[in-house]
Structures are given as C-alpha cells and as structure tokens.
Amino acid sequence: RMQTVLLAPGVKDKKLLSYTRRNALKEKDAVTDLIRSIIATSSPVQRTAFHVFRIDNVLELYSAWRRGLPDVRPYYAVKCNPEPALLGALAELGAGFDCASRAEIEAVLALGVPPSSIIYANPCKSEPHLEYAAAAGVNLTTYDTEEEVAKVKRCHPRCELLLRLKGPDGSETTCDLGTKYGARADEVVPLLRAVQRAGVTVAGVSFHVGSPVARVGVYRAAIEAARAAFDEAAALGMPPMRVLDIGGGFTAGASFDDAAAVINDALARSFGDLPCVEVIGEPGRYFCETAFTLAARVIGKRTRGEVREYWIDDGLYGSLNNILMDHKVPRPRPLATPRPGDRTHTSTVFGPTCDSQDEVVTGYQLPEMSVGDWLVFDNMGAYSTGSGSKFNGFDTSEIKIYVAYSS
C-alpha cells in the first residue's frame, strides 16, 4: 500500500528506504492519486504548493546505475537537489557525494557518511571553505588553475587533486559548464607542472560533458582526453594517477543506457591497460529529476475574452526556477480529470511574485480552471527546490515535501 509522510524541514530520514518496496508508484497515475489523497486528507487543509518525492524511484535508478555502470561509483552532486531525505536514501544505498561548499559537506557528514566518500568537486574554492574541508578530512578536490594549486597548498596541503578538463567541444549541451571550468588541452602540462612544483598530489582527472548531455558520444572524446592527461603526467615522471571522474550529465531512461554503453566501451579502450584506476561519476539530475512531482495551487485568475490568465503559488523565484537555471520547459497538467467535451483555452500561468518575468507558461492550452484548483508538474527534482529564493517573501524552503513509499 502506498503511503506518504510529510517531512519536517531538515529531517534526514534514512529509514524510509528500508520500507520501500519495488514496483511502487511506477505510473504517473499513482502519483496523481497520491497528490489527490494528500489534498483530500491533509489536516489542516492543504492550501499551498508541495512536492511528492518518490523514494522508490531513487531505488530503481540506483539499481539501473549499478547495472549500466557497475564499475563506476556514483558521487551524487548535492547541488542538484539537497533534500535531506534524498541524500539519506543515496547514502543508505552506498553512493558517495560531490559537494561544492562547506554547507553541502556538512549536510552529507551529518548523515554519517565518511569524509572519504566525499569529493569537494568545486575547482575554485574559498579559503575558509577549504580550511573547513581540511578539518573535516575531505581530502579530494578538483582544480583547473595554478592559483588553486597555491591555495590548496596553503589551506589544505594533504588534499589530493583531480585536474578538471574542459568538456569536449561541440557537445551542444543546454548548460555548457566548459565556458567557466576545465583546463584546455594546452593547459594540461602547465597545470600538472604547477602541482609538481608545489609538492601536492594529483590523484587523477575529472571532466563534465555538460548538463544534460546532448550526444552521449561526447563521453568517448572526454575519456580519450582524460587518458591523454594520464599519459602526460606519466611523461612528467609524476606518480601514477589512480582516479578518473567522469562527471555528470546523465538523464534517466534509455539515454542512460546509451551513455553507459559508450562509457563502458571507451573505458575498455582507453583505460583497459590501467585496471587499478578507480572510476567515479558525479550524477546530479539522474537521481532526482524524475523522483519529484510538484503540485501548485491556482491562487488567482483573469479572463480576457478567450484567453485565461492564472496565478499559482510557486514560480520562477521558487522551485520553478529550473525554468531559468536549467532551461526547463514545464508541461503542467490539471490535477482534475478532464470531462469529455471539455474545451481548452490559450492560457498564461504566472508565479506569485510581483515581478512580471515570473511567468511559468504562456500560450499554453489548459481547460478552464478555478481558484483553488491544482496544477501538477512532473519531473521537477533537478535544480528546483535547492536553487529557489526568498524573493518577495515567498520562501522556497517552505514548500512541503511528502515522501512516498510502499509498505
């Protein structure tokens, strides 16, 4: 039987995972039913937006990862969605964590995860955060500038480094991280030499092909470039590198299987002669995008001839900031089942803040709705609740999260 619990903010409920069984909540209809039952049974009456987090979905995705990339340990990228129940589930399943700041490291350590299961995967760190990592025993980080080598030497000399390479050109990804991070091919040797001079250790190489990956073939080019960097380090007489970090960019479903096939083949070709190299990944959206569903409530309406305008209680400055940050194109659906013969109207849906840019969809077909009705947004887990703001006094963290499990 499907059940939900409402998580109090900050609850780190690892135990939920043990109650979760397979074959639960696979269908969109099951989530819809769950949202209906939350609205029908909540006391006090549910009158604000909320998310349903399907913990069973994370379990399935973790199994699919283990099947597809059995030799690649996932280090979940906390930035994508730092919901404690999600972090707890992934910790229980055996994932490591990619953290980018002191607060992310603290959140993961608070779950009982050992510091050796954390990579501080931010190539440019502030000194206080790096000193905190040193005190906490997080001893692996990324770099892509000589300045960063000097900083690590000053603040955390025991920390081992992964040289972050720029993702391959022409990856056509929506979020190209290579404009900001990653060494170009001609910068690899100078950056390795800088480490040699400083007397710190390079443990290996990392890259990120962009988020989400547009063509899975780019993983092959990135793995080949990583092997070239391993060889350059060996030619400089450096101790053998032992870590390859293939970053994120994965999406759930068939595209994950395609990516895994390319990666496994490229690893065999480029790293087959280096069996001691430990391969890790930093998946973010893969583990959370499909696991969260948003229900937002219609709080206002305007009728202008045939056109309808609605206001809902979540928007671009709340969890729907994935429209801005992640270029998400939302496809909301009314919670109410359409009646036969219901017609649709060209509709605009606004978020609750007073900024006129706070527009969720425009020119979108929806049936007639009323104030108090609900709109459902699927696949809302990535770069959403974690990156919302308090603009205009609407606090994203106040959005309730119901965790769904079967018992």
CB nearer to ligand PLP: pick between 91 and 177: 177
- Are 379 and 61 in contact by the 8 Å Cβ rule? The answer is no
- Are 162 and 243 in contact by the 8 Å Cβ rule? The answer is yes
> Of the candidates 167, 283, 315, 381, which one interacts with ligand PLP according to CB under 6 A?
283
> Of the candidates 148, 282, 313, 314, which one interacts with ligand PLP according to CB under 6 A?
282
The kind and range of the H/E element at 2 are: strand 2-7
E-strand ranges in 28-136 read: 50-54, 72-77, 96-99, 118-120
Dihedrals phi, psi of 238, to nearest 5 degrees: -80, 155
CB nearer to ligand PLP: pick between 98 and 160: 98
Q: Which residue is nearest to ligand PLP (CB)?
A: 248
Scanning residues 112 to 131, which ones bind ligand PLP (CB under 6 A)? 121
d(CA 65, CA 60): 9
| In the complex, minimum distance from the CB of residue 160 to ligand PLP, in angstroms, rounded to a whole number | 17
Spell out, one character per residue from 147 to 186, where the chain touches ligand PLP: x when CB under 6 A holds, - when not: ------------------------------x---------
| In the complex, minimum distance from the CB of residue 212 to ligand PLP, in angstroms, rounded to a whole number | 6
Spell out, one character per residue from 204 to 223, where the chain touches ligand PLP: x when CB under 6 A holds, - when not: ----x--xx-----------
Does the annotation mark 80 as catalytic? no
| In the complex, minimum distance from the CB of residue 210 to ligand PLP, in angstroms, rounded to a whole number | 8
For the chain, the farthest-separated pair of C-alpha atoms sits apart, in whole angstroms, at 75
For 319, the 3-state DSSP assignment is helix
Residue the block writes with tokens 């905190």: 132
Give the pair of three-digit tokens for residue 346: 């060209």
d(CA 74, CA 72): 6
- Are 122 and 101 in contact by the 8 Å Cβ rule? The answer is yes
Interaction of residue 318 with ligand PLP, rule CB under 6 A:
no
DSSP state of 175: B
B/e letters for 35-67, b = 16+ CB within 10 Å, e = fewer, are bbebbeeeeeebeebbbbbbbbbbbbbbebbee
Scanning residues 58 to 97, which ones bind ligand PLP (CB under 6 A)? 77, 80
CB nearer to ligand PLP: pick between 165 and 349: 165
Q: Select the span of 58-66, 189-197, 278-286, 331-339 touching ligand PLP (CB under 6 A).
A: 278-286
Q: Select the span of 221-229, 279-287, 350-358, 366-374 touching ligand PLP (CB under 6 A).
A: 279-287
- Are 289 and 251 in contact by the 8 Å Cβ rule? The answer is yes
Name the residues annotated as catalytic: 354
Please give the residue ranges that form the binding site for ligand PLP (CB under 6 A).
77, 80, 98, 121, 177, 208, 211-212, 247-250, 282-286
